[in-house]
Amino acid sequence: MSTRYRIAVTGTPLPPLTYQGEDNLATGIRVIVPVGHRQQVGLILGIDEHPLGKFTLRDILAVLDTTPIWTTAELALLDWCSRYYHANWGRVLETALPTALRQAKIAKTIKRPLIAHPAQPNLVTLNTEQQQVLHSLQQQLDRFHVSLLEGVTGSGKTEVYASIISDVLTKGQQALLLVPEIGLTPQMLARLEQRLGTAPIALHSGLTDAARGKVWQLTRTGVPLLLIGTRSAIFAPLPNLGVIIVDEEHDASYKQQDSIRYHARDLAIMRAKLQNCSVILGSATPSLESLANVTQGKYQQLKLTQRANRQPIPQLFAIDMRAQTLEGSLSPQLLTAIQNALDHDEQVLLFLNRRGYAPVLLCHDCGHTLDCPACDVPYTFHRTKPNLRCHHCGRVAHSPRECPQCGSQNWHLVGQGTQRLEEVLMGHFPNTPVLRIDRDSAQGKNKLPELLAQIRNGSAKLILGTQMLAKGHDFAGIQLVGIIDVDSALFARDFRTLERLAQLVTQVSGRAGRGNKAGKVLLQTHQPHHPFVQALLTQSYDQIAQDLLAERAQTHLPPFGHSAWLMAEGRKLEAVQQQLNRLLVQVSNPLVQLSGPMPALMHRRQNYYRELLWLQSDNRTALHATISQLLDALNQPSVAISGIRIFLDIDPQDMP
């Protein structure tokens, strides 16, 4: 006897296929099936009870697992992901399964490890506000509930996390803690291990394929543990899940930017609903989406309004850069403040979210810029050779001696990157070493932890960094924070820019004053009277967020409307535009506004032209129905154009 099974096949753009195999194979186990002339790993989704017709079924070749790798609820999450993001099951499995489990290897049975969880973990005594928040969270365990924990920077959210996780582990359950970037939170990981008395299990892209596979084999056993990971950890099997915590829930890193463009925060909420557990969203600067859900009664909002060390939140002061004599991009006022802090043996953090030496290399005689030949952006000039690097496609080149346009050798560097600012600081403060932390300086397996250790032990006094230092760090010695430039964000085209700017300034400012002295933040700007700059100086993040929500409501932009973009990409611009125009005539829905074709913000990348259709609607169902129509039209030979690649982003967080 044989049974027909619906099987999702990895590595294919196909919907689930039907194969026959031995009876009583469980849903959620991996098998090997033939696809054309190849053998692929597939996942059994269930029995196919539809009439077979005249088709001859192919056989399942091998069974890889003795027990399901995902539970029924976890498979339901993958199904929701497939439907909501309009992605076929093959792509879902490519995204959700570690490489080791996408290979045709028999899963090794592992012994259930002994994870020691002490009867009395090493938890700290919480202050009154933390205790009240903890009590509210404890009341919501063992059922689906979403709590937004809004705690000012330094308020001790991690200690609250530790107490909740301890409760869950004591019950014999599992906990999942999502973080934006695992490499930026070593202090939190160490603190949780100390508090819980057991080491968390890490899952992130920095692990080898074999290590990720071993973590999966461990978590699927249901043994009590804390799994800490980046966005892809949302797919890890955790059959005994008691709580999901999304730390820094506002962070854009939770949104996948290729393949299936899922948002890990949204998947976390759906997973908690399917597995009937509580989810906690933590942030000092919550996303507007989460705040809107609080207003609509979908989330419970809990607040930590005071720092655990009782120091006040650092106050921001603006430095008017107009008509100033600058040293590099540093004003005299900021240089004086830095010197004063160093004289008092205090640490200083300068924030510039632009790595490299200079954003543009320009001929001073004719104005020619050296642009990436594959993208519509200038090369970024770096101090080390090869000097010219495209931060979008990765292309590198050596800077020419002469201008290819006019032959001049009079090159001019425009703008400031962290490398150039580092030189300025070294020249002005020759007796104080400058510690630069960005993606270039932190390359290497142990480099970033080594750099961060210099800040924590106080040996680094003058620190220069990008947004790598803006989140998840508790540096007790930093008293002064200087924000070098906010003006470029005031005039960006993306409607989310001001929200992101408010979050970034608040987060960076929160690095100051975490020790026994109050902190101070200086913000350099050529727009001191700009309404949003004034808001940053005089209002709390909550006040700014409410004003931004009111603007979004008036314009029906997210979170009060629903949006998506569909992008066509190809070598020839005319063909790309023709493809989108062909799609436009296939759909018509009065509830959905379609705009385009329009150029992407980066119109050409890696020699591919990129054009967009922007979709917006107050009705989510109508929006998704229109997207389905567009994707179905691509299956028609009269509509699809050869050589054109199509990308889709549901609930986009950025314009491409």
DSSP string, 164-230: HHHHHHHTT-EEEEE-S-GGG-HHHHHHHHHHHSSPPEEESTTS-HHHHHHHHHHHTTT-S-EEEE-
- Pair 351, 406: CB distance under 8 Å: no
Instruction: Mark residue 578 as left, alpha or beta (left: phi above 0; alpha: psi -120 to 50; beta: remaining).
Output: alpha
Task: Encode burial over 292-310: b for 16+ CB neighbours within 10 A, e otherwise.
Answer: bbbeeeebbebebebbbee
Q: How far apart are CA 539 and CA 535, in angstroms?
A: 5
| Cβ contacts of 521 within 8 Å, gap of 6 or more | 314, 315, 316, 317, 480, 481, 482, 483, 508, 509, 512
pLDDT, position 477: 85
Neighbours of 261 (CB within 10 A): 20
Task: Encode burial over 440-475: b for 16+ CB neighbours within 10 A, e otherwise.
Answer: bbbeeeeebeebbeebeeeebbbbbbbbbbbbbbbb
**Residue 153 pLDDT greater than 60, yes or no:** yes
- Pair 181, 157: CB distance under 8 Å: no
**Residue 445 pLDDT greater than 90, yes or no:** no
Which is more confidently placed, 182 or 247? 247
The beta strand positions in 48-124, using DSSP E, are 62-63
Q: What is the pLDDT of residues 471-483, one digit of tens each?
A: 767 787 899 999 9
Neighbours of 589 (CB within 10 A): 15
Between the alpha carbon of residue 96 and those of residues 13, 223, 439, 477, the distances in Å are 15, 21, 27, 41
Q: What is the pLDDT of residues 86-111, one digit of tens each?
A: 999 999 999 999 998 988 766 554 44
Q: How far apart are CA 653 and CA 656, in angstroms?
A: 10
Q: What is the pLDDT of residues 536-590, one digit of tens each?
A: 999 999 999 999 999 999 999 999 999 999 999 999 999 999 999 999 999 989 9
pLDDT, position 543: 97
Dihedral over Cα of 456, 457, 463, 466: its sign? negative
Q: How far apart are CA 222 and CA 627, in angstroms?
A: 38
Average pLDDT over residues 509-531: 88
Percentage above 90 pLDDT, the chain:
68
Token pair, residue 403, equals 């201008």
pLDDT confidence of 311, banded at 50, 70, 90?
confident
**Residue 203 pLDDT greater than 80, yes or no:** yes
pLDDT confidence of 113, banded at 50, 70, 90?
very low
Token pair, residue 183, equals 């490499």
pLDDT, position 1: 56
Q: What is the pLDDT of residues 464-473, one digit of tens each?
A: 999 888 776 7
pLDDT, position 183: 74
Token pair, residue 2, equals 């044989």
Average pLDDT over residues 124-152: 96
pLDDT, position 107: 56
Q: What is the pLDDT of residues 314-358, one digit of tens each?
A: 889 999 999 889 898 899 999 999 999 999 999 999 999 888 888
Relative to beta strand 380-381, strand 520-525 is: unpaired
Residue ranges and CATH numbers for the domains of the chain are 3-101 (3.40.1440.60), 128-304 (3.40.50.300), 315-356+416-553 (3.40.50.300), 562-650 (3.30.70.600)
- Pair 219, 236: CB distance under 8 Å: yes
**Residue 234 pLDDT greater than 90, yes or no:** yes
> The pTM is what?
0.92
Q: What one-character DSSP code corresponds to residue 553?
A: H
